[in-house]
Structure 1
């Protein structure tokens, strides 16, 4: 749901090294040390066992989120265990730079942030990673309760494969229709909660040389996300399951059909602007105010913070529905955890990797991540109380209002369909494809994957 180039086009945060961490480039694979990875016969927990390694190595995707939050977790770990040091490997191509370290005789890092445009194919190498139930079952750094009780509902679900929790996703991405709350307040507008209201708003601004939507190259699947979220809210979880499971009539579901027709009407009426490369399109919206609405995940706050007008008051709202009485509440939202962390089974110090991951799930580290990136983590109640941000405030409000009515899907990313889907959506938003032809061709992509015996499928419940 996120374009591949989103993070790699942004500069990473400048991170001052902390006492707990050193930051290294990717190093060549090193031979495994049998003694360092063997379990101690004593029941004492790491790092108090005789012969326990005192160093933890973490490979972290150095994209828009930078690495500062993992550095901070290493600092917290050192406060607890003064003899322990954490070494960070910055990477922007995880699979390319780390795959060789899973070969026989080599040793992978103790913790891996499997994110970015080149992730490790986890579904094909499940036996290379340890289950992480003991990470979230452990008592958290902030109190007596298990870490799992401090996380948002379903935050762990994306990391469960074949019934095992093999990854813990860290960032909590809230999706919605982003807009300037200041502009809406100045005009006295209520935010449109149905597609009829969206189209009415488009008619109101027609004479102002302003558009409802702007879309950019490499970010066009943001509009697919909007359409799917809207259709799921209108038609319920049957829509989500049908699309995610690649059902033969998934894209023909009435709720999907009608939402696509509403978007087609927006295109036909001239309410949709092509803004060129996606960062330029976002600037047209947030800086120049050429469009009112922009569908995106929460990373948009970080991506536009240097170009948005000072008085913009960036705010997210739930996707609109077709009617005022949809199957899911109007407050239901699409949100999912991202930035996937793994502990290799044959790392030199997997216990250390798990300890570093537990430190990341503390309120202290999660709060700093939110302060830097203006988005929540999977750790509940970790938003800094002194941070003034309309973007972050709106995300926490959406999560609170949604309650348990939070949903997600993953077929586009999992099956590698985003590029082809994006090409179809670009033609649709340009007026070259009708809603019916778009649905037909999107269905064709799903059918191709469903009928391919070589593709490892998953089942959405």
Structure 2
């Protein structure tokens, strides 16, 4: 089926995913970052490659300068880098050696290199063990991307790179007024299921909470776990849908207040209502054995017909491609409305530009790193990415007329139905300690009989601690 995705016209309320919820540089290294062990103003300057600027080389890349890129090997794989973006860069700079490496633990692998001021030139910062992006920005380790955004695009030199992006993209990678991060993958989040299984059983995706629990009862009676996620490393999937419910109950300012560390933000009534509703789902319809499983293990169980609903982002279909049996048909539905008086409609969703890419400021070839991002942001680069990952990008019109998969088709339809009613949060990227605590508190709520009040108390205590910690730079939106 040929589909022309209709990207939203306005994204002012959408912020970074997380597809990524920030984990990365563990607490101790993060402290090192802030105390200067990753290099501050007194460090010896790094010799960086530079060439002549021209119409075809607007960033002044040195044509034979080596370029090193590190890609997270997760749900999106790495073929989009090896088969699309690196060849595009090499075509423009054939004398340049491009070194590519992939890892499932970005923070573990790269933290020592940032500490020693020997980082690569471009980093895809994602996964459950990613770098603490906020701490890196605070430590001066991230390149300001203004020059990239103001450079002419590869497709149309009369237009700047920023002019081809979905509105709101630049803001999502902005920290206190400066753009440091490119959030490249446009991701929609919701409850994923097998449409073929649902059609076979006559089940319909629920719209209200009463519909949701009634359907979960039917699914449970059929011998299938109605709802689950992996506690070992994917708890952010669950706190994402919990906070989606909170935003739908009380409006997107609920999440804005959390991001801005407003007093009592985690104690707000919509958060408590959402936590209580999801605690019931965990207690009645989850599987406690999944607390110790990884995301791919629970996702495999869904492919095997053992789990009905699974919370995730639109990378899921690609991540499970090799394990998805014939006849399995990925589909996604918005989180059901918790109350009849929710501030946002049932069709409202969490949707965001996520999957962070950044250029280290102390790398040997930051101009090349930005140029690499410019190739990613070409229509050819974006189209190739979507073809290989089944995930949209922030480049407008890049997949017009492209044949897309069932899951991407479903996600695109969900996005269209949402209209302007989508939102996200940024605290997970800004404050790693809050992300860590949210994961732990969510697992307690969903697997260990925790209460909504205990969840809110625990998160408020963690937020208050971050707010009072003068060593942590604060960000606002």
Q: Is the 8 A contact 1:74 1:85 kept in 2?
A: no
How many corresponding residue pairs?
A: 431
**Partner SS, residue 202 of structure 1:** helix
| Superposed counterparts of 1:386-405, under 5 Å | 386-405=402-421
1:86 Cα deviation from its structure 2 partner: 3.1
On the 8 A contact 1:139/1:147 being kept in 2, the answer is: yes
CA deviation profile, 1:269-297 (whole Å, cap 9, x unmatched): x222234313332222231x233211112
| Counterpart residue number, 2:269 | 254
In structure 1, how many angstroms separate the alpha carbons of the residues matched to 2:59 and 2:136? 34
Find the counterpart in structure 2 of residue 339 from structure 1: 355
Q: Which residue of 1 aligns with 2:65?
A: 55
Q: 1:158-177 counterparts in 2 under 5 A?
A: 158-177=172-191
Structure 1 equivalent of residue 171 of structure 2: 157
CA offset digits 1:160-186 (Å, max 9, x no partner):
112111221222222111111222333
Q: Report the secondary structure of 1:436's partner residue.
A: helix
Q: Are residue 410 (structure 1) and residue 426 (structure 2) matched?
A: yes
Moved more, 194-203 or 274-283: 274-283
Go from structure 1 to structure 2 and tell me whether the alpha carbon gap of 1:322 and 1:393 turns closer, same or farther (over 3 Å shift).
Answer: same
Residue 323 of structure 1 deviates from its aligned partner by 3.3
The CA distance in 2 between the partners of 1:152 and 1:48, in whole Å, is 22
Cα contact 1:172–1:378 (8 A) shared by 2? yes
Deviations 1:105-135 (A, max 9, x none): x664433333342426554455344322232
The correspondence of residues 60-459 of structure 1 with structure 2, limited to 5 A, is: 60-64=70-74, 65-71=76-82, 72-91=84-103, 93-94=105-106, 97-98=109-110, 108-116=119-127, 117-119=129-131, 121-125=133-137, 127-143=140-156, 144-218=158-232, 219-268=234-283, 270-276=284-290, 277-278=293-294, 279-287=296-304, 289-324=305-340, 326-383=342-399, 385-416=401-432, 417-459=434-476
Q: Give deviations 1:289-309, integer Å, cap 9, x for gaps.
A: 233211112232233223334
CA deviation string 1:200-241 (max 9, x = no partner): 212333432233212322223322111101110221122112
**Which sections of structure 1, spanning at least 5 residues, go unmatched?**
8-30
Taking structure 1 as reference, are residues 245 and 200 closer, same or farther at Cα in structure 2, changes over 3 Å only?
A: same
Cα distance change, pair 366–425 in 1 and its aligned pair in 2 (3 A): same
- Once residues 201 and 102 of structure 2 are traced to their aligned partners in structure 1, the CA distance between those partners, rounded to angstroms, is 46
User: CA offset at residue 4 of structure 1?
Assistant: 8.1
Q: Distance in 2 between matches of 1:173 and 1:242?
A: 23
Where 1:44 maps in the other structure, the secondary structure is: coil
Give yes or no for contact 1:334–1:406 (8 Å, CA) kept in 2: yes
Following superposition, the deviation at residue 373 of structure 1 comes to 1.8
Pair member with larger Rg = 1
Which deviates the most, 222-231 or 303-312? Answer: 303-312
* Per-residue deviation, 1:98: 4.7
Structure 2 CA distance for aligned equivalents of residues 404 and 4 of structure 1: 23
Conserved 8 A contact 2:390-2:404? no
Asked if structure 2 preserves the Cα contact closer than 8 Å seen for 1:234 and 1:255, the reply is yes
Separation of aligned partners in 1, 2:368 and 2:240: 38
Say which structure, 1 or 2, has more relative contact order (CA 8 Å, 6+ apart).
2
Q: In structure 2, what is the Cα distance between the partners aligned to 1:347 and 1:194?
A: 51
Q: Secondary structure at the match of 2:228?
A: strand
TM-score (norm 1): 0.82
What SS does structure 2 have at the residue aligned with 1:197?
helix
Instruction: Name the residue aligned to 1:13.
Output: none
Q: Say if 1:155 and 1:169, in contact at 8 Å, map to a contact too.
A: yes
Q: Is the 8 A contact 2:189 2:312 kept in 1?
A: yes
SS of the aligned residue for 1:281 comes to helix
Contact 1:275 1:281 (8 Å CA) reproduced: no
Distance 1:77 1:102 in 2: 24
Normalising by the residue count of structure 2, what TM-score does the alignment of the two structures yield?
A: 0.79
